Amino acid sequence: MNERISRARQVAVAVITVFFAAVLIGDLVKIQIFEKDKYEALVSSVSSRTAVIPAARGEILDCNGNKLVYNEQGYAVVFDGSFFPGSSESGRRNEIILSLIKLFDRKKIEWEDILPIEVKKGELVFKEESEAVIKEMKSRDMLNLNEYATAQNCYDALVKAFSLEDYPMGEALKIASVRYGMMRVGFGVGVTYTFAKDVPEETVSAIMENSTFYQGVDNRIVPVRTYTDGTVAPHILGMTGAMDAESYKQLKPKGYRMSDDIGKSGMELAMEEYLRGKDGEMTIYTDDKGNRTAEITKEPEQGNAIVLTIDSGLQKVAQDSLKSALESYAGKIGNRVPNAGAVVVLSCKDASVLASATYPTYDISTYAENAAKLNSATGSPLWNRALMSAYACGSTAKPSVAIAALEEGIIDEKFTVYCSGSYTYLGQKFKCEQAHASAFVDVIHAIDESCNTFFMEVGRVVGIEKMNEYRIMLGLGSKTGCELPEVAGILDSPEYRASLNQEWLPGYTIQSAIGQAGNLFTPIQLANYVNVIANGGTRYRPHFIKSIKTADYSQTVLENGAQVMCETGITEETLDIVKRGMLRVGTVGYCAPYFDELPVKVACKTGTSQEYRKMNGYSVKINNGFLIAFAPYDDPQIAIAAVGEGMISGKYVAPVIADIVEYYCGMSDTIDTLPAQGEFIP
């Protein structure tokens, strides 16, 4: 028995020994024959280092899967800290950098110029809109200068730090920009510096052919952010840009490097954590003859794809029509106010943002070369008026007063107010300025004919507390909760005035009832307000994100559905009365001529407000025109708010509403079979 066990053990040991010997022999054959060159290079190598392979950011698509932002492969010219002249060879560094700058300037190719100093009229000044960069440059970690240091002081420090005394100011300033950029990212062995991105192949080839002179200057294939059409929704898409010191402090624990680009505005900023990919790694070996071999040791992973609720076709219609309406109005009356405005389109079923347009606008794909001009341009084209401008909304506030009065039982459909053309309150007379079919005005005709007398009297009885209680439910004067930066605006009230150490005067209540006083609302708030009326009393959170997908679209990371912010409980009867008043505005009232040719009925409400604006050093009183609307009336699907700055009436933005409704309804032969908005098609 014992002999059998012993023999079995001997056999097992023999088998195991043969197995491991075979594995070892196989590895030796693989190493010595099939991977001979690779391991010979490693044996003879004198150094190795790891280089980062930048990951591509995720794509941004519209609701139908059309790419708005994607990546293309391009060349970047980089300085390799392992081979670039060392910090003690300042003269050699400057020689190489200046040669590259001249080459790129001659070919009109952008290079990374981050220095916030420029020459104007022969003097050194700080660039506009560069406060954060200037502060960082003066900081202890950079130039270590006092906060009050001038541009000249900073330039002098740069010249001294980088041995630029022998260069003319223009050349010294350019070299200093590159050297300062290298300082910011901690350039050295193992840390590269990107001199230029998206460089034409022929320029890269010219540099590589002269590699003896351009010591340590290399090229890398990198992802380049690309736009299908840079004019479509630039304020929504946003931009990427260089990391600043404050952002780096926050993001360094998450693995970011100072040399990384990050989202700076719009979706690029809001969705940074999803859009950012995972960088890869490359190990570079250098043998004793200077020959280099590279091996990818970690593949980069592209960031997630962001699918917007925006319909790019509808967005373009909204943008083009807004521009046309503003320019047409200015052309007719010689408007002294710069053409400006905004329009927002929401889905009635969930407040997803189908379009959000601002004018004036810009081309995001050419922002880098036009940044200075855009920052100082008339009309502030970089400003997102749809979310960041709050206006006194005029008579578009009147439906909210009607809702409050009807819900509180203060009025009903048959209730009337006598309008003589003016309204007197505490000895002060206010004009109505409207011609009424009857001097006794009911709520439906008061909405249609925008009767100030009716709403002042009703507002007086309702009172500011109740009026504002309903406006809060309707989302006016507070942020909507969308993914992008927005302002809250102002809901004027005794409490708000007290916070300013002001007294709430009795006349403020009746002014608030007609959309004046101190109320300031954003276009997206107005769109959501009319959406509550249209959809039956539910206030949703407006949102720009439909979903987030993995880079290959195979998996859903996040699905962003309807989010109810408030069930107002407003009765169907009340909403029906208000909607019928708004229907008259669109079918027999001020806006009827603009909507007559549409295949569906549009319900709407115009508004005009006044504001004082500083122009040419003077305070000038101007009008702003508003229009809120929903369509189709019988089956509301879209809610819209539009504003035209300098317009004397909201009816002048009615063509914008008409174009939007026509396009939306034209997406299907019948309204009943319209495709679901936001359906993703990879």
Q: What is residue 27's predicted lDDT score, i.e. its pLDDT?
A: 61
With CA atoms as reference, report the closest residue to 550 among 352, 277, 310, 279: 277
Residues 6+ apart with CB under 8 A from 586: 592, 595, 601, 602, 603, 604, 629, 633
Residue 394 DSSP code:
G
Asked if 400 and 470 count as a contact pair (C-beta separation under 8 A), the reply is yes
Ramachandran angles phi, psi of 605, nearest 5°: -150, 130
Q: Determine the average pLDDT of the residues in 438-465.
A: 96
CA pair distance 497, 489, nearest whole angstrom: 14
CA pair distance 312, 317, nearest whole angstrom: 9
Q: Determine the average pLDDT of the residues in 159-164.
A: 96
Of 356 and 114, more confident: 356
Mind listing the pLDDT tens digit for each residue in 473-495?
999 999 999 999 999 999 999 99
Mind listing the pLDDT tens digit for each residue in 626-654?
999 999 999 999 999 999 999 999 999 99
DSSP strand pairing (353-359 vs 416-418): unpaired
> What is the Cβ-side half-sphere exposure of residue 358, based on CA atoms within 13 angstroms?
22
Q: Determine the average pLDDT of the residues in 459-478.
A: 97
CA angle 437, 578, 660 (to 5 degrees): 100
**Omega within 30 of 0 (cis) for the link into 632:** yes
**Residues pairing with 679 in the sheet:** none
Q: What is residue 58's predicted lDDT score, i.e. its pLDDT?
A: 96
Lowest mean pLDDT among 29-43, 111-125, 181-195: 29-43
**Ramachandran category for residue 616: left, alpha or beta (phi over 0 → left; psi -120 to 50 → alpha):** left
Using the predicted structure, report yes or no on whether residue 620 has a pLDDT greater than 60.
yes
Q: What is residue 23's predicted lDDT score, i.e. its pLDDT?
A: 54
Q: What is residue 333's predicted lDDT score, i.e. its pLDDT?
A: 64
Mind listing the pLDDT tens digit for each residue in 400-443?
999 999 999 999 999 999 999 899 998 888 888 787 878 999 99
E strand or H helix at 459, and its extent?
helix 452-462
Of 330 and 523, more confident: 523
Q: What is residue 666's predicted lDDT score, i.e. its pLDDT?
A: 84
Mind listing the pLDDT tens digit for each residue in 165-175?
999 999 999 99
Q: Cite the beta strand spans of 616-666 per DSSP E.
A: 618-631, 638-645
As a three-state string, the secondary structure of 544-581 is CEEEEECCCCCCEEEECCCCEEEECCCCHHHHHHHHHH
Of 150 and 257, more confident: 150
Lowest mean pLDDT among 11-25, 226-240, 505-519, 664-678: 664-678
Chain centroid to CA 664: 24
Ramachandran angles phi, psi of 35, nearest 5°: -120, 30
Q: Determine the average pLDDT of the residues in 503-515.
A: 95
CA pair distance 64, 313, nearest whole angstrom: 10
Lowest mean pLDDT among 173-177, 220-224, 269-273, 331-335: 331-335
Using the predicted structure, report yes or no on whether residue 142 has a pLDDT greater than 90.
yes
CA pair distance 152, 125, nearest whole angstrom: 7
DSSP strand pairing (556-559 vs 618-631): unpaired
Residue the block writes with tokens 């007609």: 514
CA pair distance 305, 277, nearest whole angstrom: 10
Residue 416's Cβ-count burial label (10 Å; 0-12, 13-18, 19+) is: middle
Structure tokens at 298: 């970690």
Using the predicted structure, report yes or no on whether residue 390 has a pLDDT greater than 80.
yes
**Residues pairing with 671 in the sheet:** none
Mind listing the pLDDT tens digit for each residue in 263-318?
999 999 999 999 999 988 888 777 776 676 778 888 899 999 999 999 999 999 99
**Residues pairing with 428 in the sheet:** 425
Task: Compute CA distances 463 → 281, 401, 431, 568, whole Å.
Answer: 67, 10, 21, 19
The residue type at 47: S
Using the predicted structure, report yes or no on whether residue 682 has a pLDDT greater than 50.
no
CA angle 663, 669, 675 (to 5 degrees): 70
The residue type at 385: R
DSSP strand pairing (117-120 vs 60-61): unpaired
**Residues pairing with 71 in the sheet:** 225
Ramachandran angles phi, psi of 390, nearest 5°: -110, 130
**Residues pairing with 293 in the sheet:** 285
Mind listing the pLDDT tens digit for each residue in 46-90?
677 777 888 999 999 999 999 999 999 999 999 998 889 998 999
Per cent of the chain over pLDDT 70 is 90
**Residues pairing with 548 in the sheet:** 306, 558
Round the average pLDDT of the chain to a whole number and report it: 89
Q: What is residue 330's predicted lDDT score, i.e. its pLDDT?
A: 82
Question: Coil, strand, or helix at residue 178?
Answer: helix
pTM of the model: 0.86
Write down the domain spans for the chain: 2-34, 75-224
Contacts of the segment 571-576: beta carbons below 8 A, 24+ positions apart: 571/407, 572/536, 572/537, 573/406, 574/403, 574/406, 574/407, 575/403, 575/533, 575/536, 575/537
The residue type at 249: K
As a three-state string, the secondary structure of 307-367 is EECCCHHHHHHHHHHHHHHHHHHHHHHCCCCCCCEEEEEEECCCCEEEEEEEECCCCHHHH
Which pLDDT band holds residue 35 (cuts at 50, 70, 90)?
low
CA pair distance 598, 596, nearest whole angstrom: 6
CATH number of the structural domain 75-224: 1.10.10
Task: Compute CA distances 183 → 131, 187, 617, whole Å.
Answer: 19, 6, 43
Question: Coil, strand, or helix at residue 536?
Answer: coil
Q: What is residue 18's predicted lDDT score, i.e. its pLDDT?
A: 52
Q: What is residue 673's predicted lDDT score, i.e. its pLDDT?
A: 34
Maximum pairwise Cα distance, the chain = 124
CA pair distance 372, 375, nearest whole angstrom: 5
Mind listing the pLDDT tens digit for each residue in 1-31?
445 445 655 655 555 555 555 556 666 555 5
Structure tokens at 112: 């990374």
Residue 110 DSSP code:
-
Residue count of the chain, please give it.
Answer: 682
